[in-house]
Each structure stands twice: as C-alpha cells, then as structure tokens.
Structure 1
Amino acid sequence: MSRVTIGILTYKRMDYLISLIKDLNAVKIKIDLIILNNNENIDVFNDIADILDSNFINYKYIWNQKNHGVSEGRRIIVENCNTDYLMLLDDDIYVEDINLICRKIINSFDSDKFLGAIAFNIIDFNTKKNNRYEIPHKNKKVNLNADFYTYLIIGAGLALRTSAVKDVGNFSNTLGPYGFEEIDVAFRLINAGYKIKYLHDCIIEHKKSPDGRFSNEMVNYYALVNRTILAKKYLRKKYFISCLVIRSLFFIVKTKNIRLLFKAWAEIIKTESHASDKFKQCFYDYCKGVSGFLYY
C-alpha cells in the first residue's frame, strides 16, 4: 500500500513534465502519482502513459478541460489523495533521488504527529545555488545545510500530512489563479497546532521555466492581492496595514501601473474579514519561536 502521493499540476510545459516523470520512474517504493492537466485543449494522457515505466507507481490522471489555476488545482489533488502524505512538485522540477525524499518524508511525519508540512531544499537548476525567493524563511542567511523549523513552505516542492491539510480546509478556492496559496495553507496549519520543518537533504532542482506563467505584472498583482488578503483575513490589524502599504509600494515601483493598483485595492477591500477567522495566540507564539516575519 502506498504511503506517499506525488501531485503535479501541469500547464504547457510538456518537455519538463516528461523529464520529471523520468526522474520519478526511479522510485523503488510504492507511490501514487496524481497529474492534473491544467491545459484547456491539450490532452496529455497518452504522452504520460508512454513514459511511465515503474511497477511502483499507481497513476491517476485528471483533466477537466479547464485551467483551474494553482490553488484550486492543488485543492483537487488533495481531494483525490488517499495516502498518508502528499508531495507537491512543480512540473519543471528535477529530482535526483526520489527514493531518499520519499523515505525522509515518511520517517519525519511518522516520528512527529504534529508535523504538518515539510519544506524542501530548492536549488536553481542552472546555477546549482539556492534562489533567495525559494528559501522557506524571511532570513535569507539561514543555514540551509541543517534542518530547522519554519513558518513557510515554497510551492515548487513541499510535502503535507494529508489529514492535516484536509483538517484546515485544504487549499483555498478563493485566492485566484496564482500566488501565496502555499503560505495560506502553512499559516492555517500553524494556527491549528501543526509544525513545519525544513529538511536540508530533501533536495530538488527548479528549472524555473517561464512558459505557462503569468506576466511579471500579473505575478506582482497576485502577490499584492493574495498576501494582503491573507493578512486581512487572519492576522492582527498592524500586519494587515503594513502588508497593504509595503506591498502596494513594491507593486507600483515594479509595474508603474496605477490602474492595476486600484483594481488590486478593490479586490482587497471587498474581501470580508470575520473575527472568527482571526488566528489564535498559538500562531504568533510559534512564529516568534522560529523567528518568523509577518509584516509583509
């Protein structure tokens, strides 16, 4: 019986997806593999089936002929996951040793029932160095050669305790197509009493293909909207205000698009915030304990 499911969203980047599946063919323990095809008009079932070459992989293919976006797509993967643990990978990832990562995930989750998520060591495929934007902590000088507890996970590669992520409501279906969906889940896991751990030897390499992505302007738009909505919904007012101000400044410096800034503000304003959604003191205590940064 499989203990781990690997979930992959794919959109346009067929060459990278094929390369990743070839990496996964090296697995020597039973796993489930769920591939959700976000292409509206391209069926990739046969392409994938032709290269899957492992008796250890139980394969499920989902294609609804629509682009669900990242958050809703990963929500669907979680809904279809029947194993204890779920590894989520971008389709442009290189995995040198899938067996080591699977063993590490199983052992880490098995040994700590309060471990809700695992952050991976994500290396740039070309430079073979860590990209500062894919370090799962605001402190970019943190020692990445040692394990540590953190408050962030990075979407390119992570692992989740399936029961925990279902417990806290799964990935959001209201965050839009892209951006901060993994931070939303991480924060809700912490608020529910779970921990997040970075494992330095769970190494993956990110090819960071530009294909299938939004324009830089829209990436910045969703970063402003989604991160500020999270602060408004869950955090104390000082974190919402600081996030709104600083991320708005970042946005206008990077895009110079005043009209799109107003659109972002309108999205943020119309998002409701209820006292019952606010995080408990344990969330702030945990974040303080791991030197977390919540202001933006």
Structure 2
Amino acid sequence: MDKIAVVILNWNGIKLLEQFLPSVIQFSQGATIYVADNASTDDSIRFVQNNFPAIKIIKNSGNHGFAKGYNDALKDVNAEIYALVNSDIEVTENWLKPILKNFDIENKTAIIQPKILDFKNKEYFEYAGAAGGFIDKYGYPFCRGRIFDTIEKDNGQYDDNCEIFWASGACFFIRKRVYDELGGFDESFFAHQEEIDLCWRALNAGHTIKYNSDSVVYHVGGATLQQGNPKKTYLNFRNSLLMMVKNLPKKGLFFIIFFRMILDGIAGIRFLTQGKIKHTLAILHAHFSFYSLSMIYLKKRGNFQIQKYYTIKSVVFIYYIKKLVFFKEIFNRNQNIKN
C-alpha cells in the first residue's frame, strides 16, 4: 500500500492539466499521482498519457460529478492517505510533508486542509476553503479568511495548526480507512457541500479535522461552475438542507431546518431585488427538491450527532446586521473555537 496518493478529478480540463500538473509532479515526491477522468470528451487522457506517462489514469464511466466521481475512482487507489486535489490547484514545495507529519503524530486526525490562497491574487485567501471552515447553527458555511464575499489578505493571521469543522474539497486530505468507514461522499449531492457533509459525519463518528498552514496551495476557483452560476446556487442550497437533515442533533432539528428555509427565502428575495431571477428560481427549485428527498435523508441519519457543531449562532446576522466581516472579529466575540 502506498503512503499517499494524489488524486486529481478531471472533466474536460485539458488546459488546467497543462497548467497545473507540472507543479504537482515537481513537488509530490514519494506520492503516487492519479488523474481520475469523468468521461471527458476533450483530449485530457491522451495529453496525460503522452506527456506524463508516470501518472496513473482512472477512467470513470460517466461525468458523475465530484462525489460519485471520487467514490468510483478511489476504489482503484490503494494508499493510506488520499490527497483529493482539484485540477485547478497549484501546489508548492514540500506541501505534503507537514500534512503527513500531522497524520503520523495525531491518530485521531482524520482529515486535513492546507492553507488555500488565490492563484489569481496570491496575497489573498481563496474563497473555497481559505484557512479552514466552520458553520453556524443554521448550516451556513464560512471560513477563516472568507465570510460570504469578503476575502481577507493573508498577513499570517492564520499561520497555525488548529481544529476546524470542515476542510475544502479543493484540496482535501483524508485517511483511507476513515473514507471507507464513512462510505465516502454522498453521491446524490453530485457537487458542492459534499465535503462538509463528509466532515460532519466524521466529527459525529469521533474523528478530528485539522488545518495546517505549513502546507500551502493556490486555487483558481470556479473553474467548473462560476460563483454566479444558478446551478451552483441550486446545489449549494439543496445540499445544505440535505446535509442538515442527516447530521443535526435530534433536539431542535425541525425548528432549525424550518428557520433555515426562512433565511433561504430572504436570500431569494434579495436575489430578486438584484435582478437575479434565475438564482431566486434556483432556491425555489432547491427547496422543492429537498421536500422530495427529505424523508429518504432522515433514514440516513447516524446513531450519534455531536451537539456543539456550530461556532456562532448566525453568521448571516453578524455579517449583514452587525457588519462584522472578518473572522477575527467574530472570534473575539465567540471564544468557543478549539485551537
């Protein structure tokens, strides 16, 4: 069994592979590198075979999205640690060493995220993950270094090694045994928030999730679905509700989901006032889809749910009403984050 496998999920991403594979190969000594292809129709596979013959290729049967794409691919990967890396990630020298050290000395640590900076503006954190993720009581995700659309400059304020609630799927390290124990990603999510769901299930199972700033990567972000894409809005809102049904503690479950849906409605009205009608319709579509799936997801609940899953009660209230837009401001008001 390999110590670590770097697995890059690809779909019609030949240009991204051309740009970013060289850094992965250069700085991933000792790792076995895979490209897991979701039935691309471009020349991605031929390009990798011709230019990087040492890379192992896994051919999935179709474009099954992030969740099933990785679940299918990882059946063919035998390594102690999986490094799941987006095709639009540039890695840096020694990016694997601090992660592997973490896993070696911390048996309870199951998932780790590196520092994720913006490839296009390397002094700033990147939207998808930044310096580690958390959620509020109503399931809204946010990060150290990014709350909603406010992105912080990296001034070393998060140069630490701390526990977090969720790690970004853009660059996601997980022990194979934990991935198998949890059954991998929830395939019905297709894409978006499946990594938060997996992390929540890991926490419910007694595992620990960490952020390690000694490992640094740069992420383009939005290479598959741009932030303004209504499909992304649909998937984020639907999957967030499904994730909550599966993982929230039983006490207050229905009230929290009901209140979250009210907040979603307010978000839909806000989109409407901005002229973003497609996004309002995407939220409505997400809610109707949630109604049809909610009973199925109630049956997916595990035997145990952690009670203290959230850092703050409402990041929406703090951000939009209190006008606190930086994580450190919130942290100073809420001293219940584990460091």
Equivalent pair of 1:120/1:204 in contact (CA under 8 Å): yes
The 5 A counterparts of 1:47-66 are 47-52=47-52, 59-64=55-60, 66=62
Secondary structure of the residue aligned to 2:2 is coil
In structure 1, give the amino acid aligned to 2:220: K
Equivalent pair of 1:18/1:51 in contact (CA under 8 Å): no
Equivalent pair of 2:129/2:143 in contact (CA under 8 Å): no
RMSD value, Cα: 2.6
Secondary structure of the residue aligned to 1:84 is strand
Unaligned runs of 5+ in 2: 134-141, 147-156, 317-339
Say whether 1:120 aligns with 2:114. yes
Q: TM-score, normalised on structure 1?
A: 0.85
The Cα offsets for residues 242-265 of structure 1, whole Å up to 9 and x where unpaired, read as: 332223432453342454433222
> 1:234 deviation in Å?
2.1
Equivalent pair of 2:14/2:42 in contact (CA under 8 Å): no
The Cα offsets for residues 127-163 of structure 1, whole Å up to 9 and x where unpaired, read as: 1111355332335459421111000111111200111
Question: Aligned partners of 2:314 and 2:67: how far apart in 1?
Answer: 21
Question: Aligned partners of 2:185 and 2:7: how far apart in 1?
Answer: 13
Question: Aligned partners of 1:109 and 1:292: how far apart in 2?
Answer: 28
The 5 A counterparts of 1:63-78 are 63-64=59-60, 66-78=62-74
Equivalent pair of 1:243/1:295 in contact (CA under 8 Å): no
> 1:20 deviation in Å?
2.0
The Cα offsets for residues 55-112 of structure 1, whole Å up to 9 and x where unpaired, read as: xx6x321223521111111212332221100111110111121xx2222222111111
Secondary structure of the residue aligned to 2:231 is helix
2:126 to 126, 131, 138: 131
Question: Aligned partners of 1:139 and 1:65: how far apart in 2?
Answer: 34
The 5 A counterparts of 1:261-276 are 261-271=283-293, 272=295, 273-274=297-298
Say whether 1:221 aligns with 2:234. yes
Specify the alignment match of 2:203 in structure 1. 190
Alpha-carbon spacing, 1:276–1:14, altered in 2? closer, same or farther (3 Å): closer
Say whether 1:238 aligns with 2:238. no
Secondary structure of the residue aligned to 2:188 is coil
In structure 2, give the amino acid aligned to 1:249: I
> 1:197 deviation in Å?
0.4
Say whether 1:166 aligns with 2:190. no
Question: Aligned partners of 1:11 and 1:190: how far apart in 2?
Answer: 30
2:304 to 255, 260, 280: 280
Q: Aligned pair count? A: 284
Secondary structure of the residue aligned to 1:71 is helix
The 5 A counterparts of 1:37-48 are 37-48=37-48
Specify the alignment match of 1:147 in structure 2. 161
In structure 1, give the amino acid aligned to 2:22: K
Equivalent pair of 2:245/2:298 in contact (CA under 8 Å): no
Question: Aligned partners of 1:28 and 1:60: how far apart in 2?
Answer: 14
Equivalent pair of 1:224/1:251 in contact (CA under 8 Å): no
Alpha-carbon spacing, 1:52–1:262, altered in 2? closer, same or farther (3 Å): same
Alpha-carbon spacing, 1:33–1:203, altered in 2? closer, same or farther (3 Å): same
1:156 to 152, 156, 170: 170
> 1:16 deviation in Å?
1.6
Unaligned runs of 5+ in 1: none
In structure 2, give the amino acid aligned to 1:67: N
> 1:190 deviation in Å?
0.5
Task: Compare 119-128 and 136-145 and name the one that shifted more.
Answer: 136-145
Alpha-carbon spacing, 1:279–1:241, altered in 2? closer, same or farther (3 Å): farther
1:105 to 95, 99, 112: 99
In structure 2, give the amino acid aligned to 1:111: I
Equivalent pair of 2:23/2:91 in contact (CA under 8 Å): yes
Task: Compare 245-254 and 83-92 and name the one that shifted more.
Answer: 245-254
1:256 to 277, 283, 290: 277
Equivalent pair of 2:6/2:85 in contact (CA under 8 Å): yes
Equivalent pair of 2:163/2:210 in contact (CA under 8 Å): yes
Alpha-carbon spacing, 1:243–1:120, altered in 2? closer, same or farther (3 Å): farther
Secondary structure of the residue aligned to 2:187 is coil
> 1:241 deviation in Å?
2.3
Alpha-carbon spacing, 1:32–1:294, altered in 2? closer, same or farther (3 Å): farther
> 1:191 deviation in Å?
0.6
